[in-house]
Structures are given as C-alpha cells and as structure tokens.
Amino acid sequence: MNIQLKVTDATKLDVDALCVFVGQDHLDTLASLNEKLSGILFSVLKKEGFTGKKDQLVSLHTHNRIAPYKVILLGLGKKEECDSHRIRTAVSQGINEVKRIQSQRCAIDMPVEFLKGSDISRAFQAIVEAVLISTYEFGKYKSTQDEEKKPKLTTVYLHVLPRYLEIAEGAVHVGTIFAHAICQARDLVNEPSDVTTPTHLAKTAEAIAKKYPREIRVKIIEKEEAQKLGMGAYLGVAKGSVEPPKFIHLTYTPKRSKGKVVLVGKGITFDTGGVSLKPPEHMETMKLDMAGGAAVLSVFTYLPELDVSYTVDGIIAACENMPSGSALKPGDIVTALNGKTIEVLNTDAEGRLTLADAFSYALKFVKPDYMIDLATLTGACMVALGQDIAGLWSNSEKLKKALIQSSLVSGEKIWDMPLPDQYRELIKSPIADLKNIQTGRYGGAVTAALFLEEFVGNVPWAHLDIAGPAFAEKDSTLIPKGGTGFGVALILTFLLGL
C-alpha cells in the first residue's frame, strides 16, 4: 500500500473515491465542497439525514464536477468523544466502502483538529494505522483466482494542510511501523500451528536479531539447558509434544538506556489441553495460544526503528501442549526455576506453568524495573470481560496507570482487575507449594493472576489476559476474523511514553 501526504486540494486529486470526514453538526466544514458540487451535497445529506453522527455514511457520484469519481461522507460523532480510536474506526469504515466499490486510488480528508485534545500527530498516526490494518488480509492459503482479478486499493492520499506537513510526516512513519507490527502479529497467529511451531518462533526471533545485530541479541535456550536451569514447570508442559521446546530470550539495547523492561509472551503454539483434553469446539482456535508471544516478537521487530529508550527483554517460553504417553498427568508435581513446587491438577492450565519459569528466569537473569506479560491465559477472563476487553492485573499503581493511559491512545481496551489476598488460599496445594487450578468454580481469571504473582517477587509487574481480544471470531471493518494483533500498539505506545 502506497500512502502519500498531499497538500493539494483533495477535490483536484485523480482518485476514484474521496473520503471526507465530518464532525457531528459541523456540516459547515463542507461548504466549499458543496459549492463545488453545485449544491447537491447538502441536499443529498439533508435527504439522507446525515448530520455527522458516528457510523453515518453517505456516498455520491460527483458527475465530473470535481476530480474524484465519488465522494464518501463519514460521520465522526461528537468532538468530546472523538478520540484516536474513533478516528481509526471511521477511517476503517471509509476504507471498507472504498474496497466495496473496488476503488484503486482514494483520498482521505480528515479535520484533524476535531480530535479530542487536538493532537494532530496522533490523528495522522491513527489514520495511517487504520488504512493499513483495515486492508489486512490473510489470503495465502486461498486457491481461488477470482479474488486476484478484482482491482485492489493500492494508493491512499492523505490531505494535509501545509502547516501540519512536518508533523504528519513523522506520524505517517510511526503509524506505518505500528500497523506493520500489528499485521505481523496477526500473520503469526493466523498461520496454522504446524507452521508456527516453537522452532518457527525461535527462527523468527533469530531473523529479527540478524536484521539489527547492533541493537538486538537473541538467545535460544534448548531443552537440555532449560533442564539444567531447573525449568521444570515449562518442561513439564513441553514434554508431551514431539516438537522441541524453544525458550526465546531477545534483548534490545538502545544507545543510552533509561532502565529495563521485560515483556513476556505466552507461547503455547497449540493448546490441546494435554491429557485434560479440551472438547473439540474449544480446541478449534487454539493455534491462537501464542498470541502473546506473537505480540512480543512483533514489538521487537520494530523497536530499533522507533528508537525506544529503555532496554527491553522479550521472553517466550515456547512449546506445544499435547497429550501423549510422555505428557504431564493430573496429580504430577513440577518444580519451577525459582524452587516453588506446583501440583498440576489440570494440564489445560498450562500457560501459568510456562509463565512461572519465564518470570523466574527474568528475575534471576534480567532483573527488570518493570515486567509485563501478555497471555491468552483463561476462558474465565472472557466470561468476565467479553471478547473485546483484556484483563489487567498489576502490583504497581504506576505501571497500571501508564498501561491504561497507553490503551486509551492505542484503542485496545483493558480493564483493571483485583489481586485479592483472600483468594490466595484457593491455589494452595496440600502437598506442594501451589496447585495450578483453584478450589471452586468462580473467579478463574483472578486466581490465575494470583498464581502468576507468586513468581514476580518485588518487581513492578502487570499481567494482561488477552484470551478474548487476541482473536476475532467475526469480521469487523478494522479487524478481520482471526488474529487481531492485540497488545502490539498498546506495548509500543507504552514503551514510547516511558
């Protein structure tokens, strides 16, 4: 996709569609366009009841009165509600219409000052992200030829006033990086699990380090070394699979570092549940169980280009959760790297076992200032928050605030959840330090977070349970069915704000 900034009057651009965005009850911004269209614009808008409310869309032929063949009007809603995510959604609706009419070149005219807080740079960044992620497709396994014959959108012009040109150039650069990172994470999740094996994730990490040898180092810890380190919890999960486990450790070092952040991504490349086998309908999408790891890899791919000023370590304890003669069985006891013992009562609660060793490793070898994990950890989190919102648990108010702030910018919804003391006894085992499932039925996402907290020591830590939003079960204009890339923009925004 070719995205170009244009200071030229948008009505003179040679495109087949011009998307014009309008704030609610701000139709006055359309006066000159209406004049150029000999007054038909306002009469059509009136007839269609278009006032600029969010989700409103009106499209009309220009009959050669201006250069674009069609004009698509899109509502932005009220100014006080017009955040960067509203802009992203509105642009994705425009792009959707542009694709529907099979336009190859389109232009976008956005009143960037209409953004709440009028952060011009954020508005342009949001537009670019939306254009790129709403044209994302995972079509490589489709053999049908018809799709290929359809004309594709190849060029998008963004109208910009000369006084904003410089800001917009920077924002287009950052927005393009964010979108590419999101699409990379989507690809990794959408690939079948026999492609994205632990070995594939390790190779991806190695390729990232090879691209930026000065900034990024990678260490892949093989099974034998993990055994020596005492990662009994992680290796317990891995031992049922013929796929070799790969413990991935990436390090990004900036020129001058302000501190250390560890990002941990759950990297179960397929979760069958193990011997506590999942029913088929719950297993269908379980290639998604490395979405946290995919997000971490995608963030790393772009850290050098974004010039992040913290040292960032990325850790993915990648393996497959399979049932077999060599698999972990309910009742088995494993010992994590930090010495804590865990009674495994359900082999489907495997994510916390791999994270226990990833955290212990980070504390021992990295000693971070902050640690954040992204994990498709529990179905219970989806019961609590639905499919669009991730749960956020943290032992640090400061870290929590920073992540919530970042999520308001990135548009990925997260919700503050508790770490209540009175639930801690629910994960105590009579014969080991902990058990991997709780006593009783309720609050499974909370007890999972409490389990993780046992492995973070005093490090300011935040846990994002992304089981719901990591994977879309139906198409929307911004996110097609499949991997969503959730967490990528959130973490990049957080790192840039540190």
Closest CA to 128 of 180, 183, 170, 175: 175
**φ, ψ for residue 68 (rounded to 5)?**
-65, 140
Using CB under 6 A as the binding rule, whether residue 62 contacts ligand BES is answered as no
Using CB under 6 A as the binding rule, whether residue 385 contacts ligand BES is answered as no
Question: What would the 3-class secondary structure string for 66-82 be?
Answer: CCCCEEEEEEEECHHHC
Per-residue contact flags (x/-) with Zn ion for residues 73 to 102, judged by CB under 5 A? ------------------------------
Using CB under 5 A as the binding rule, whether residue 271 contacts Zn ion is answered as yes
Binding segment for Zn ion among 13-21, 177-185, 285-293, 473-481 (CB under 5 A)?
285-293
Binding segment for ligand BES among 88-96, 293-301, 373-381, 477-485 (CB under 6 A)?
373-381
Per-residue contact flags (x/-) with ligand BES for residues 233 to 272, judged by CB under 6 A? --------------------------------------x-
Query: Distances from the Cα of 246 to the Cαs of 152, 194, 204, 294, 316, in angstroms?
Result: 39, 15, 12, 14, 8
Smaller CB separation from ligand BES, 102 or 442: 442
Task: Pick from 97, 348, 357, 454 the residue near Zn ion by CB under 5 A.
Answer: 348
Using CB under 6 A as the binding rule, whether residue 452 contacts ligand BES is answered as no
Using CB under 6 A as the binding rule, whether residue 92 contacts ligand BES is answered as no
Is 163 catalytic? The answer is no
Using CB under 6 A as the binding rule, whether residue 358 contacts ligand BES is answered as no
Task: Pick from 174, 297, 437, 490 the residue near ligand BES by CB under 6 A.
Answer: 437
Residues making up the chain, counted from first to last: 498
Smaller CB separation from ligand BES, 29 or 285: 285
Pairing of strands 311-321, 246-252: antiparallel
Task: Pick from 245, 351, 411, 443 the residue near ligand BES by CB under 6 A.
Answer: 351
> Rounded distance, CA 487 to CA 109, Å?
29
Using CB under 6 A as the binding rule, whether residue 289 contacts ligand BES is answered as yes
Is 352 catalytic? The answer is yes
Tokens encoding 81: 């509600």
| Cα dihedral across residues 110, 113, 117, 123: positive or negative | positive
Say if residue 279 is exposed, middle or buried (CB neighbours under 10 Å; 0-12, 13-18, 19+).
exposed
Binding segment for Zn ion among 11-19, 53-61, 298-306, 347-355 (CB under 5 A)?
347-355
Q: Provide CB contacts within 8 A for 153, sequence distance 6+.
A: 1, 95, 98, 99, 103, 104, 105, 106, 135
Instruction: Single out the catalytic residue among 70, 352, 413, 435.
Output: 352
Binding-site size, ligand BES (CB under 6 A) = 15
Residue 437 interacts, among Zn ion, ligand BES, none and using kind-specific CB cut-offs from 5 to 8 Å, with ligand BES
Task: Pick from 92, 378, 410, 484 the residue near ligand BES by CB under 6 A.
Answer: 378
* Least distance from ligand BES to the Cβ atom of residue 485, Å: 15
Closest CA to 373 of 315, 299, 457, 438: 315
Query: Distances from the Cα of 176 to the Cαs of 24, 74, 118, 360, 393, in angstroms?
Result: 28, 23, 21, 35, 30
Give the CA dihedral 287, 288, 292, 295, nearest 10 degrees.
100
* Least distance from ligand BES to the Cβ atom of residue 377, Å: 6
Tokens encoding 77: 């809603």
Task: Pick from 174, 337, 467, 472 the residue near ligand BES by CB under 6 A.
Answer: 467
Using CB under 6 A as the binding rule, whether residue 18 contacts ligand BES is answered as no
Task: Pick from 230, 236, 444, 482 the residue near ligand BES by CB under 6 A.
Answer: 444
Task: Pick from 110, 264, 380, 434 the residue near ligand BES by CB under 6 A.
Answer: 380
Q: Provide CB contacts within 8 A for 358, sequence distance 6+.
A: 234, 247, 264, 315, 316, 317, 373
Residue 312 interacts, among ligand BES, Zn ion, none and using kind-specific CB cut-offs from 5 to 8 Å, with none
Contact 372, 261 (CB under 8 A): yes
Residues labelled catalytic: 278, 352
